[in-house]
């Protein structure tokens, strides 16, 4: 082994004395101030074909048995440990540890540890640790930990750790932890951690944790954690946890947790809550929709706003400028119901609790209703009155006997009722209803006095009939304009 090493050193020294005279050429401005040699062979500086003068030369083919320090590269370079070029490197480089240059690097660089350039780094770089540039990085970079640029980062970058740029990030970034840009971020970012743009963020971002932008965010965001923009957010945002914008958000926001913004326009869908100060559009919240001022549609278990114009569907819809009524009703088959009626004066929601007073056993029911109130003149053009109104209502009620049961026992009903408002706090109403019962409870047939059709299918009993409802409504009520005038005002506001 010692003999082989001695022979290698001797061969390099011998080539050092021969090759300069054979291959040395000067190409002037083509390589800047560097002289060109087609081949160079180096054990470790200064033991090599260029000796101590190696920083003055560039070459097409370079072999560094341990490592080499040279002026430049214009071709292929292979190093056991490292390849370092003082001015630039252009071509194909393979090193066990490091490919580095004091200038720019372009082409293909493969290193077990680092590809580094003091200026631009472009092309294809593959490193076990990271690809680093004190200026821009562009092209295809794959690293076990990090791709870092003090300037812009563009192209396709893949890192288990992160892709970081002090400038802009654009293109496709794939990281096991995060993609970060101090300025703008655009293109496709996929990460197991987060995509962070400290200025603007746009394009498609997919993250296992979050997408964040201190400025604006736009495009399609899909994340297992959160989409966060401290200023504006627009486009399609999908998150299993929450979407947050401190100022303005628009487009479609879908999350399993929370959608929040100060100003929201478009469609918000959440399994948890949608919260905004001002909203125009539609909110679908699994639990809560909240807005200080809202125009459009709210659908959720609880809908809350200080001022709301539009339509709401929920168990409770509490609006500062809306209705807050208490209803007592009696319907066919002996059910007496009480209802908490909320929502707008035009579109209302009702939470219903009832009991059957005509049966020899305890039968309870609870459910919800959604209704539309109109001036009588909207339905009957020849009748003009400020006191008469029409309610069209749909209800679904679950029934149980003696003790609570989840067993299917439902009545769906459409009601058409005409009422008279005596003053702002009292009205009476009544009218026919069309009902469909769906039940797996055998004794539920006596909830109705008769049935127009009573089929059975898949263990369920169905009964259909025409019934009636009469009721009294208490507390705040008001006369409504004609529906055509209301729609005109609503469209004008939008």
DSSP assignment of 471-491: EEEES-------HHHHHHHHH
Measured CA to CA, the distance from residue 419 to residue 421 in angstroms comes to: 7
Rg (Cα) of the chain, in Å, rounded? 38
- Show Cβ contacts of residue 381 under 8 Å, excluding neighbours closer than 6 positions: none
Q: Are 410 and 394 in contact (CB under 8 A)?
A: no
Q: Are 342 and 352 in contact (CB under 8 A)?
A: no
Residue 436's pLDDT is 96
Percent of the chain residues past pLDDT 90, beyond the cut? 43
User: How deeply is 492 buried, as exposed, middle or buried, from its count of CB atoms within 10 A (0-12, 13-18, 19+)?
Assistant: exposed
Is the predicted pLDDT of residue 336 greater than 50, yes or no? yes
Length of the chain: 494
Spell out a b/e string for 23-50, using b for 16 or more CB atoms within 10 Å of the CB, else e. Answer: beeeeeeebeebbbbeebbbbbbebbbb
In angstroms, what CA-CA distances link 317 with 242, 300, 341, 348, 398? 23, 9, 9, 8, 21
Q: Residue 202: which of 225, 226, 247, 168 has the closest Cα? A: 168
In angstroms, what CA-CA distances link 24 with 18, 41, 59, 299? 10, 13, 10, 80
Measured CA to CA, the distance from residue 446 to residue 435 in angstroms comes to: 14
- Show Cβ contacts of residue 292 under 8 Å, excluding neighbours closer than 6 positions: 276, 277, 278, 305, 306, 307
pLDDT digits (tens, 9 = 90+) for 359-392: 889 999 999 999 999 999 988 988 888 899 999 9
Q: Residue 171: which of 192, 193, 147 has the closest Cα? A: 147
Residue 262's pLDDT is 84
Is the predicted pLDDT of residue 476 greater than 50, yes or no? yes
Q: Are 210 and 229 in contact (CB under 8 A)?
A: no
pLDDT digits (tens, 9 = 90+) for 11-67: 444 444 443 433 344 433 445 689 898 999 999 988 988 888 899 999 999 999 999
* Cα-Cα-Cα-Cα dihedral sign, residues 371, 374, 378, 381: positive
Measured CA to CA, the distance from residue 444 to residue 461 in angstroms comes to: 9
Residue 326's pLDDT is 96
pTM score of the predicted model? 0.68
114: left (phi over 0), alpha (psi -120 to 50) or beta: beta
Residue 14's pLDDT is 44
Residue 485: pLDDT band (50, 70, 90) is low
* Tokens standing for residue 239: 């998150």
Residue 11's pLDDT is 45
Is the predicted pLDDT of residue 488 greater than 80, yes or no? no
More confident residue, 331 or 187: 331
């Amino acid at each position: 082994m010692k003999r082989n090493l001695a022979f290698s050193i001797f061969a390099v020294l011998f080539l050092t004395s021969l090759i300069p005279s054979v291959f040395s050429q000067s190409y002037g401005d083509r390589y800047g101030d560097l002289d060109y040699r087609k081949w160079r062979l180096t054990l470790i500086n200064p033991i090599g074909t260029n000796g101590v003068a190696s920083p003055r030369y560039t070459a097409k083919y370079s072999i560094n048995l341990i490592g080499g320090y040279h002026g430049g590269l214009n071709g292929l370079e292979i190093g056991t440990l490292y390849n370092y070029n003082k001015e630039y490197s252009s071509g194909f480089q393979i090193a066990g540890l490091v490919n580095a240059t004091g200038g720019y690097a372009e082409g293909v660089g493969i290193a077990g540890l680092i590809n580094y350039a003091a200026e631009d780094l472009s092309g294809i770089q593959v490193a076990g640790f990271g690809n680093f540039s004190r200026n821009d990085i562009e092209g295809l970079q794959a690293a076990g930990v990090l791709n870092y640029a003090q300037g812009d980062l563009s192209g396709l970058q893949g890192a288990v750790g992160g892709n970081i740029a002090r400038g802009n990030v654009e293109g496709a970034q794939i990281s096991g932890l995060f993609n970060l840009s101090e300025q703008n971020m655009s293109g496709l970012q996929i990460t197991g951690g987060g995509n962070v743009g400290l200025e603007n963020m746009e394009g498609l971002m997919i993250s296992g944790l979050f997408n964040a932008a201190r400025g604006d965010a736009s495009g399609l965001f899909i994340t297992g954690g959160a989409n966060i923009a401290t200023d504006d957010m627009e486009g399609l945002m999908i998150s299993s946890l929450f979407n947050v914008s401190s100022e303005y958000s628009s487009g479609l926001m879908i999350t399993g947790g929370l959608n929040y913004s100060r100003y929201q326009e478009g469609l918000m869908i959440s399994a948890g809550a949608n919260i905004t100060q001002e909203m125009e559009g539609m909110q679908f919240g699994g639990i809560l929709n909240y807005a200080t001022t809202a125009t459009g549609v709210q659908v959720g278990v609880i809908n809350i706003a200080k001022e709301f114009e539009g339509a709401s569907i929920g168990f409770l819809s509490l609006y500062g400028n809306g209705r807050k009524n208490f209803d007592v009703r009696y319907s066919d088959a002996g059910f007496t119901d009480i209802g908490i009626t909320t929502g707008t004066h035009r579109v209302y929601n009702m939470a219903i609790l009832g009991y059957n007073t005509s049966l020899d056993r305890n039968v309870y029911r609870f459910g919800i209703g959604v209704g539309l109130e109109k001036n009588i003149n909207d339905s009957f053009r020849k009748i003009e009155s400020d006191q008469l109104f029409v309610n069209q209502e749909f209800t679904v009620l679950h029934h149980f006997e003696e003790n609570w049961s989840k067993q299917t026992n439902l009545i769906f009903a459409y009601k058409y009722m005409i009422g008279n408002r005596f003053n702002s706090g009292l009205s009476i109403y009544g009218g026919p209803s069309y009902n469909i019962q769906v039940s797996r409870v055998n004794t539920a047939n006596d909830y109705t006095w008769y049935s127009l059709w009573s089929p059975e299918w898949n263990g369920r009993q169905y009964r259909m009939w025409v019934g009636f409802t009469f009721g009294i409504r208490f507390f705040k009520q008001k006369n409504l304009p004609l529906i055509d005038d209301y729609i005109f005002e609503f469209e004008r506001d939008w």
